[in-house]
């Protein structure tokens, strides 16, 4: 390979000559690859540009160093742009086609279904919580998450790919919903404002099957988190959780039906970490995760 030595300014011819003097011996042996040194030699010997390009094209092998800083050295040594272009084309041909991108783990489809009449009281079909902390009037945010904690399904740098960050066990994020709406109380909880988590009737998401072929048994964890807006996610309160296995099959949409509700007693007093007002219940899982065949 070419000796990496700066060649620039008015001293370029002298520096190029010095470079050749201390570089590897000429690669004129039969079958030896053409290198940067050979090109600079031809330039210093005043070989016509077209002949240098023809030599590059007809060479059976090349070993050019075309890093950006080396290209600048070659230009300073008098190598013209047409010659550099010929070197780049030869280098690309010698390198062969680029390797195919790494395959992403296969994914399956999961349909999440939430039970409840959309016209019924939100307390019976979703999570309700205080809109703000009475101490300081700092707004609360609320979210429902679905994660997979199966070790073979957790991606690299998982903390950067999850809204939960590193405050939860290693996981692959499947679904995260933090949309809320004001809740107009009908249960006599006057004097406080509330929010209700907006849950769709159904939502379909991708579930990565992991790097190991056939690893399609997932360990799901579901939960509702609440935190003050000025707190980090790692400081969130976990106020309702559930766990379930899930089996996914190629070409089959798996279904997970959930029921979410809020206990009256959990939101009639001031917010407390040790009071769990929300209930998440797994109603059904399809296909049956207890069956190895998914039937």
For 112, the enclosing helix (H) or strand (E) is strand 107-114
For 226, the enclosing helix (H) or strand (E) is strand 217-228
Two structure tokens written together for 161: 């790919």
Which of 287, 284, 265 is closest to 276 using CA atoms? 265
How far, in Å, CA of 134 to CA of 228, rounded? 11
Find the DSSP H helices in the chain.
12-22, 36-44, 49-58, 68-76, 81-95
- What separation in angstroms does the CA of 26 have from each of 18, 59, 75, 254, 256? 14, 15, 21, 67, 71
pLDDT of residue 208: 79
- What separation in angstroms does the CA of 92 have from each of 61, 68, 114? 12, 15, 55
How far, in Å, CA of 173 to CA of 155, rounded? 9
How far, in Å, CA of 179 to CA of 163, rounded? 14
For 217, half-sphere exposure in the C-beta direction (CA atoms, 13 angstrom radius) is 8
Which of 64, 197, 192, 56 is closest to 125 using CA atoms? 197
How far, in Å, CA of 23 to CA of 38, rounded? 10
pLDDT of residue 3: 39
Q: Determine how many CB atoms are found less than 10 A away from the CB of residue 255.
A: 17
Preceding amide of 184 cis, omega within 30: no
What pLDDT tens digit does each residue of the chain (295 aa) get? 443 333 344 444 544 554 444 344 444 555 688 999 999 999 999 999 999 999 999 988 888 988 888 898 899 889 999 999 999 988 887 766 656 665 555 678 899 999 988 888 888 999 998 888 877 678 989 999 999 998 888 888 888 888 887 778 899 999 999 999 998 765 545 567 889 999 999 999 988 776 555 558 899 999 999 888 888 877 788 888 999 999 888 778 999 999 999 887 666 665 555 556 788 999 999 987 766 444 4
* Strand duo 180-183 + 194-197: pairing: antiparallel
Distance, CA of 127 to chain centre: 29
Q: Determine how many CB atoms are found less than 10 A away from the CB of residue 175.
A: 17
Which of 127, 129, 143, 111 is closest to 260 using CA atoms? 127
Q: What is the pTM of this model?
A: 0.61
Two structure tokens written together for 232: 């980090």
For the chain, domain boundaries? 9-95, 107-286
How far, in Å, CA of 277 to CA of 104, rounded? 39
């Amino acid at each position: 390979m070419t000796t990496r030595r700066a060649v620039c300014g008015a001293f370029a011819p002298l520096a190029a000559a010095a470079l050749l003097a201390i570089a590897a011996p000429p690669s004129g042996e039969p079958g030896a690859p053409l290198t940067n040194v050979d090109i600079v030699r031809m330039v210093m010997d005043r070989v016509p540009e077209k002949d240098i390009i023809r030599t590059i094209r007809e060479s059976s092998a090349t070993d050019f160093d075309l890093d950006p800083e080396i290209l600048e050295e070659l230009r300073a040594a008098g190598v013209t742009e047409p010659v550099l272009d010929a070197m780049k084309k030869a280098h690309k041909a010698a390198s062969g086609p680029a390797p195919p991108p790494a395959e992403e783990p296969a994914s399956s489809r999961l349909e999440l279904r939430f039970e409840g009449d959309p016209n019924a009281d939100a307390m019976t079909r979703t999570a309700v919580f205080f809109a703000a902390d009475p101490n300081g009037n700092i707004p609360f945010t609320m979210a429902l998450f679905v994660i997979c904690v199966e070790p073979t399904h957790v991606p690299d740098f998982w903390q950067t790919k999850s809204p939960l960050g590193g405050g939860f066990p290693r996981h692959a994020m499947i679904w995260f919903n933090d949309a809320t709406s004001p809740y107009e109380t009908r249960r006599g909880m006057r004097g406080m404002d509330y929010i209700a988590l907006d849950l769709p009737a159904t939502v379909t998401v991708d579930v990565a099957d992991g790097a190991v072929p056939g690893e399609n048994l997932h360990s799901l964890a579901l939960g509702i988190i609440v935190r003050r807006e000025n707190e980090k996610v790692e400081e969130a309160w976990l106020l309702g959780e559930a766990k379930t296995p899930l089996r996914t099959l190629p070409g089959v949409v798996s279904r997970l039906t959930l029921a979410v509700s809020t206990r009256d007693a959990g939101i009639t007093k001031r917010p407390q970490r040790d009071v769990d007002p929300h209930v998440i219940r797994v109603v059904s899982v399809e296909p049956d995760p207890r069956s190895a065949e998914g039937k």
